[in-house]
Amino acid sequence: MAQPIKCQAAVLREFGKPLSLETITVDAPKSHEVRVKVLYTALCHTDEYTASGSDPEGFTPSVLGHESAGIVESIGPDVDSVKVGDRVILLYTPECKKCKYCLSGKTNLCQAIRATQGKGVMPDGTSRFHDAEGKPLYHFMGVSGFSQYTVVADISLVAVDPKADLDVVCLLGCGVTTGVGAAQITANVQKGDSVAVWGAGTVGLSVVQGAQLRDAGRIIVLDLDDSKEEWAREFGATDFINPSKIDSNKSISEYLVELTDGGLDFTFDCTGNTKVMRQALESAHKGWGQSIIIGVAASGQEISTRPFQLVTGRVWKGSAFGGVKGRSQLPDYVEQYLNGKLKVKEYITHHNTLADIEKGREVMHSGKCMRCVLDM
Ligand code: AHE
Ligand code: ZN
């Protein structure tokens, strides 16, 4: 029978403040739960969004982190999908294969445990994390990867090819999959299609990669930071535009519609900025252009456009985790990485340790960082 484990974790005590490194207790996994020794967690802007206090599903004290990979340390009763020693990627979008959503064939948004996940607790409504005083800590996104050990639902992880280096494929737990999947599953970009992507971070450049793997035609990347141009081209962009530098008599949408003879087949927002979301929609081709929202907008933000934009055939869509069903489809992304078809390692610009997580967070805000991977 598994016993509680003491380990180090970075705890969000107060929004907007540095994370606190603490020794916490991680309880044994209960029925349909798995305890994972987290080996690597990459920093994602969503952790920052929640740490800032903007996320209505963010709580204190909690253990953030959601782009993680590790090894199964112990399993609770009734777990038959993974075994001790399996190398796993954690899934903030679980896949139960049984709920209405999973069975619909229309979405990857499994809802089996979504309500409790959003409240920062395990499916039975309690926490497996306790601080030194024995007080419970909230979970985050069903993962909580900023701890050396975590407990997740057995539908919130997937075993992957043991040949895969976990310090790389942890990126498939969020950023890379979100972008590649948005291009290939949500948008289903086809050969020759024109694409524009706002935001040249890991997600945006993964959209670019996903589109290039589909032999898209023109792939335009827009970012306010010129230093991203080289990055964008490395992942397949054919054009780079700094929107602050175009002729100010025209809106960016007018500029793009003119540049692309009527607009783009697909546009993607990877910024979370609602003004950009509108620009992206209005840059899509009349009659058929689709605009896909991926970026996380702050609480209370709303999008708007003239309904005429939709009446005349543009489609506004969203994508979560790239539309990818984690347990069914993520192992294939790992194989594509192992076969050299999918770039993953190339997004890693920085490494750090859990003890130095604050340095990692700093560098993330510097604009010089794509992904920073924490060795736990
Ligand atoms: N809790 C936030 C929403 C956050 C959000 O949109 N999350 C994305 C993943 S971000 C990964 O870096 C997502 O996939 N959401 C789907 C879901 O079910 O949460 C809020 O604003 O309430
Ligand atoms: Zn993320």
Which DSSP string corresponds to 157-217?
A: EEE--TTS-HHHHGGGGTHHHHHHHIIIIIS---TT--EEEE--SHHHHHHHHHHHHTT-S
**Residue 177: its pLDDT value, please?**
98
Q: What is the mean pLDDT of residues 365-376?
A: 93
The residue type of 316 is W
Q: What is the pLDDT of residue 276?
A: 98
Range from 159-163, 204-208, 297-301 carrying the lowest mean pLDDT:
297-301
Q: Check whether 366 has a pLDDT greater than 90.
A: no
- The domain 5-173+343-375 is classified under which CATH number: 3.90.180.10, 3.65.10.10, 3.40.50.2300, 3.40.50.300? 3.90.180.10
Q: Which of 46, 99, 170 to mutate to test the pocket of ligand 1 (most atoms within 8 A of CB)?
A: 46
- 50: phi then psi, degrees, rounded to nearest 5: -70, -40
Which pLDDT does position 162 carry in this prediction?
Answer: 98
* 146 CA distance to ligand 1 middle (Å): 18
The predicted model gives 215-220 an average pLDDT of: 98
Pairwise CA distance, residues 157 & 323, whole Å: 16
CATH 3.40.50.720 in the chain is located at 178-320
Return the residue whose CA atom lies nearest to atom 8 of ligand 1. Answer: 320
Supply the pLDDT for residue 340.
98
Q: Ligand 1: which residue has its CA nearest to atom 16?
A: 320
Distance 297 CA to ligand 1 centre (A): 9
- Could you tell me how many helices (H) and strands (E) the chain has, helices first? 12, 17
Q: What pLDDT does residue 249 have?
A: 86
- What integer is the mean pLDDT of 258-265? 97
Q: Which of 138-142, 243-247, 326-330 has the lowest mean pLDDT?
A: 243-247
Locate CATH 3.90.180.10 in the chain.
5-173+343-375
Q: What 8-state DSSP symbol labels residue 19?
A: -
pLDDT of res. 82: 98
Q: Tell me, in angstroms, the distance from the centre of ligand 2 to residue 46's CA.
A: 5
Q: Note if 25 is an active site residue.
A: no
Known catalytic residue at 371: yes
- Residue with CA nearest ligand 1 atom 9: 320
What is the model's pLDDT at position 298?
87
Give SS3 for 363: helix
Average pLDDT of 196-203?
Answer: 98
Question: Looking at residues 143-164, what average pLDDT do you find?
Answer: 98
Q: In angstroms, what is the span from residue 66 Cα to ligand 2's centroid? A: 6
Beta 195-198 vs 219-222: how paired, if at all?
A: parallel
Q: Is pLDDT above 90 for 201?
A: yes
- The preferred substitution site among 296, 302, 303, 317 for testing ligand 1, maximizing ligand atoms within 8 Å of CB, is 296
Which ligand sits nearest to residue 65's alpha carbon? 2
Residue from 375, 340, 370 nearest 354 by CA: 375
Q: Report the pLDDT value the prediction gives residue 367, as an integer from 0 to 100.
A: 83
Average pLDDT, the chain: 97
Segment 47-76 shows an average pLDDT of 97
Choose the catalytic residue: 45, 128, 214, 327: 45
Does the pLDDT at position 374 exceed 90? Answer: yes
Domain 178-320 belongs in CATH node 3.40.50.300: no
Instruction: Look at residue 248 and tell me whether its pLDDT is greater than 80.
Output: no
**Cβ contacts of 165 within 8 Å, gap of 6 or more:** none
The mean pLDDT value for 125-134 works out to 98
What gap in Å lies between CA 304 and CA 281, rounded to an integer? Answer: 10
d(CA 202, CA 173): 12
Q: What average pLDDT does this structure show over 240-260?
A: 93
- The reply to whether 96 belongs to the active site is yes
Rg (CA), the chain: 20
Sequence-ordered list of residues with C-beta below 8 angstroms from that of 282, at least 6 positions apart, any chain: 251, 253, 257, 305, 309, 314
**174 a catalytic residue:** yes
Residue 83 backbone class (left: φ over 0; alpha: ψ -120 to 50; beta: rest): beta
C-alpha distances out from residue 10 to 29, 38, 41, 335, Å = 20, 13, 12, 32
